[in-house]
């Protein structure tokens, strides 16, 4: 049996799909309330959905489906969710998780949101991370892998680190871009990995980010082409004269705009698997002796780790976290609302990159109407063709 995983704030299920591809992971269930993503989980992932993360691993009185159980009904037959209580885990109704993954909402953290992003993890959307941490506290898995915007380092990471320290985890984190995974956009994201102090990975004294860096061995365009590399056939394939001709296009694109670039998720899962099964010996190079301790109250660095409550800064790994000016011919990343936008000529009046990937495509290929195909967006984020296609 592989490592048992709870995939919280599931979205399109990048961690679940990556775990299946790497092997050695089994997702117990997801936790999602977005209607489109719920359909995707059911139809494409065949992953059970526990619904709102607030009610996962709580007592029976807090469970919103308890009324069905009181009547000897199966909740999943009456609701689209199967909310698992703490008793379900304690009694073995569902497996106890070895690992919790979560790509929690970043709307109040990202710089793209100019209204309310200063609230950080206390914002209306991003406060879901507190619910994720409640599940972590209840179940205390060996490992926790979190993903969010890079500004989390000064918009709430300090709070999470204090919680992890109370729960006796050692933690490391790094900003990771998809550029050196061969993609034509940067999409800097913060990944946080926590290992319980008695876990196999904690005993190795090894960093998962050293392994992730080994996978970041491509130049932009080597996996997904930069726009200046497109052939006429590729240009024709990405263009939709009538975006509404594909049912659910905007929902598919918006879900992709919220997602993790798939090869990046896969690299992290591969690293966890490798270190979990690594044989410990005294000759191991200790990856947690290369940092510089920072003073209490100082700004949390983009790359670092915490051991026994002390925070250390690591040197920047430019393969994982390149500067935004490092490469030429780079385009905007895909965002949550890009599915709502088409190739409207007025977007060309916006300065710089403020028009997003739609404007980049218009400038590159001369589009003045229509929109891009959702299958192009899937490839742009590293997913297989038709990955997000669902029956509405």
Q: What is the pLDDT of residues 308-338, one digit of tens each?
A: 999 999 999 999 999 999 999 999 999 988 8
Q: Look at residue 251 and tell me if it is in a domain.
A: no
Q: Look at residue 44 and tell me if it is in a domain.
A: yes
pLDDT in tens, 267-312: 999 999 999 999 876 555 678 888 899 987 788 999 999 999 999 9
Q: Is the pTM of this model over 0.85?
A: yes
Closest CA to 220 of 317, 324, 329, 353: 329
Query: Angle formed by the axes of helices 128-139 and 157-166, to 10°?
Result: 10
According to the model, what pLDDT value does residue 289 have?
80
Which residues in the chain belong to E strands, given as ranges? 3-8, 25-31, 99-103, 143-148, 169-176, 189-196, 239-240, 292-293, 304-307, 310-313, 371-372
Q: Look at residue 249 and tell me if it is in a domain.
A: no
Report the range of poorest mean pLDDT among 84-98, 124-138, 360-374, 375-389.
124-138
Note whether 107 and 126 are within 8 A (CB): yes
Task: Write the burial class of residue 291 (CB in 10 Å: 0-12 exposed, 13-18 middle, 19+ buried).
Answer: buried
Count of domains for the chain:
1
pLDDT(189) > 80? yes
Catalytic member of 9, 29, 106, 180: 106
Higher-pLDDT residue of 351 and 168 is 168
Most confident of 93-107, 126-140, 186-200, 277-291: 186-200
Q: Look at residue 295 and tell me if it is in a domain.
A: yes
pLDDT in tens, 353-367: 778 999 999 999 999
Q: Look at residue 373 and tell me if it is in a domain.
A: no
Q: Look at residue 174 and tell me if it is in a domain.
A: yes
Asked if 106 is an active-site residue, the reply is: yes
Q: Look at residue 92 and tell me if it is in a domain.
A: no
Closest CA to 174 of 141, 202, 199, 211: 211
Length of the chain: 392
Tracing tokens 């430019």 back to the chain, one arrives at: 318
| Residue numbers of the domain that contains 316 | 3-49+98-220+260-328
Q: Look at residue 226 and tell me if it is in a domain.
A: no
pLDDT(175) > 80? yes
pLDDT(80) > 70? no
What CATH number does the domain containing 190 carry?
3.40.50.150
């Amino acid at each position: 049996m592989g490592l048992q995983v709870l995939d919280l704030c599931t979205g399109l299920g990048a961690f679940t799909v990556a775990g299946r591809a790497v092997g050695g992971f089994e997702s117990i269930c997801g936790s999602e309330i977005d209607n489109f993503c719920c359909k995707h989980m059911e139809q494409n992932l065949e992953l059970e959905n526990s619904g709102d993360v607030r009610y996962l691993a709580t007592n029976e009185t807090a469970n919103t489906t308890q009324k069905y159980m009181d009547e000897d009904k199966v909740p999943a037959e009456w609701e689209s969710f199967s909310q698992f209580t703490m008793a379900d885990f304690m009694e073995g109704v569902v497996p106890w998780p070895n690992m919790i993954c979560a790509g929690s909402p970043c709307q109040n953290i990202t710089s793209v949101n100019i209204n309310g992003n200063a609230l950080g993890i206390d914002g209306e959307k991003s406060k879901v991370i507190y619910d994720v941490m409640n599940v972590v506290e209840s179940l205390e898995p060996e490992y926790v892998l979190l993903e969010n915007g890079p500004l989390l380092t000064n918009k709430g990471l300090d709070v999470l680190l204090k919680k992890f320290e109370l729960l006796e985890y050692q933690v490391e984190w790094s900003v990771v871009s998809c550029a050196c995974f061969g993609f034509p956009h940067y999409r800097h994201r913060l990944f946080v990995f926590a290992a319980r102090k008695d876990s196999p990975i904690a005993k190795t004294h090894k960093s998962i980010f050293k392994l992730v860096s080994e996978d970041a061995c491509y130049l932009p365009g080597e996996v997904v082409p930069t726009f200046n590399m497109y052939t006429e056939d590729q240009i024709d394939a990405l263009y939709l004269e009538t975006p509404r001709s594909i049912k659910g296009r905007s929902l598919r694109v918006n879900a992709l705009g919220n997602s993790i670039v798939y090869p990046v998720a896969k690299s992290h899962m591969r690293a966890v698997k490798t270190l979990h099964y690594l044989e410990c010996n005294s000759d191991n190079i200790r990856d947690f002796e290369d940092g510089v301790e920072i003073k209490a109250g100082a700004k949390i660095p983009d790359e670092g780790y915490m051991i026994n409550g002390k925070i250390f800064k690591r040197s920047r790994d430019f393969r994982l976290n390149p500067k935004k000016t490092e490469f030429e011919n780079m385009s905007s990343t895909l965002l949550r609302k890009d599915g709502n936008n088409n190739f409207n000529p007025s977007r060309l009046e916006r300065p710089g990159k403020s028009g997003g990937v739609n404007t980049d495509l218009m400038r590159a290929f001369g589009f003045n109407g229509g929109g891009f195909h959702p299958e192009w967006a899937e490839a742009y984020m590293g997913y297989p063709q038709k990955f997000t296609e669902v029956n509405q």
